[in-house]
Amino acid sequence: MMENYKEKYFKYKNKYLQLKNQKAGNFTQLELSSYFTTLRPGVIRRLNIEIGKFESLGYIVELGEPDLNIIYVTHPSSGIRNKIKITEAFPQQKRIINNKLVDIPAIVLLADYFSANIKLIPREQSNILIYCHGKPILKQSDHHAYYSIEKAIKESGIVDPHIYTLDIVENPDLLEDGFDEEFLTRYSSNPLFDIVFMPDCGGPWWNLQTSEFRGFEPLLQIVDKILSIIRPNGKLIISKIVKDGLYEAIMKRYTGNSKPFELVETPSIQAIEITKL
């Protein structure tokens, strides 16, 4: 089973700290930890996605020990074990931490790279976030719900929208997990979005309605958390409501600030618009 990306991140981090302390007794764990304060645990998911490509095919993936710059992949049927050097793409470097020169493993540089490349979203503009879409939206053919997105923007009175797509695969504007606590916490403390559109999500939104269904509350909590990243009077538009009774549960939870939203392309499919109070 594939490890949770956060567990993987902390495994890398903790092993690195342990190894560095073994190799250089004059470096304390506190000093070395200072380097990681700028890293977001969520950004290591990109490495998790790459490893996941092997694991989805049945390969066994192992972290190199003691060398954190190597991973091993074992073929599921032949049993052949191959070594992959992460350093080929992200060479190990020396960095100055607390005025001391420290070797930084490639695995850490990879996390640092994706951390530095998290897109900064200006607060002063009107921001539209489209969940679960793996490429930017520049024209009508870029999204099956393009006209519904356009309708939501127009009805909100936004004249100069800046649209960001969000997904954990392919090439969206934001390569992140929109259901992850780290992502939601980051933006709930500083809401930047005027409209969030969830037209066709898989992941927890789908699983909690199907194979992992355990009542409506976990699904309603997802709605609560996504609302937290929206500015006051902004809109959350949700579709792919497949579980019987979920539509009614959402409307009841947000009585007074929710209403049906008609999708332009597929008006027969249920969707809900919730206003952030």
pLDDT (tens digit, 9 = 90+) per residue, 127-178?
999 999 988 999 999 999 999 999 999 999 999 999 999 987 777 888 778 9
Of 196, 268, 206, which is closest to residue 241 (Cα–Cα)? 206
The reply to whether CATH 3.40.50.150 applies to domain 126-275 is: yes
Query: Where are the chain's structural domains?
Result: 5-116, 126-275
Average pLDDT, the chain: 76
Asked if residue 205 has pLDDT above 70, the reply is yes
pTM above 0.85, yes or no: no
* Bigger pLDDT: 256 vs 22: 256
Asked if residue 40 has pLDDT above 80, the reply is no
- For the segment 186-193, the average pLDDT, to the nearest whole number, is 85
Q: Which residue has the tokens 């990879």?
A: 110
Burial of 164 (0-12, 13-18, 19+ CB in 10 A): buried
What residues contact 144, with CB distance under 8 A and at least 6 apart? 199, 200, 265
> What is residue 68's predicted lDDT score, i.e. its pLDDT?
55
Q: In this structure, which amino acid lies at residue 250? A: I
